[in-house]
């Protein structure tokens, strides 16, 4: 990431630019912040990075539940500029 942009932009512009970045092609989950876990009982884990600090939220059995928990965690830590997953209603 360009350090100049990170230091000299407002939070809103920075997080909008992060939201427009494409997701990696080798991703193991279709949701942001959700990765495959080695535990077969809880195959999805939730983790994200903010201000150079890694947050491990937990491991979950369902991918949709993990994505919902990710949304709640980033809203609590990052706030209104957090990039959320688009979840289906229900």
CATH number of the domain enclosing 71: 3.30.730
Cross-strand partners of 50: 53
The verdict on residue 84 lying in a domain is no
Residue 43 domain flag: yes
Number of domains in the chain: 1
**pLDDT > 70: percent of the chain:** 72
Structure token digits, residue 46: 């939730």
* Residue 45: inside a domain: yes
Cα–Cα distance measured from residue 52 to residue 68, given in angstroms and rounded to the nearest whole number: 23
Residue 46's pLDDT band, with cuts at 50, 70 and 90, is very high
pLDDT of residue 28: 82
Is 87 a domain residue? Answer: no
Domain limits for position 64: 3-77
90 belongs to a structural domain: no
Q: Considering the domain boundaries, does residue 21 fall inside one?
A: yes
Q: 42-66 as b/e, with b when 16 or more CB fall inside 10 Å?
A: ebbbbbbeeeeeebebebbeebeeb
Question: Residue 63 above 80 pLDDT?
Answer: yes
Question: Under the phi-then-psi rule, with left for phi > 0, alpha for psi from -120 to 50, and beta for the rest, what region is 69?
Answer: alpha
Residue 82 maps to a domain? no
Instruction: Please write the tens of the pLDDT for every residue from 66-86.
Output: 999 999 999 999 888 888 998
């Amino acid at each position: 990431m360009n350090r100049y942009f990170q230091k000299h932009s407002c939070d809103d512009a920075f997080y909008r630019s992060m939201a427009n970045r494409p997701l990696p092609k080798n991703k193991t989950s279709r949701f942001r912040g959700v990765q495959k876990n080695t535990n077969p009982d809880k195959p999805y884990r939730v983790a994200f990075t903010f201000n150079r600090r890694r947050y491990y939220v937990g491991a979950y059995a369902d991918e949709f539940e993990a994505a919902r928990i990710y949304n709640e965690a980033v809203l609590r830590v990052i706030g209104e500029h957090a990039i959320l997953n688009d979840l289906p209603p229900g």
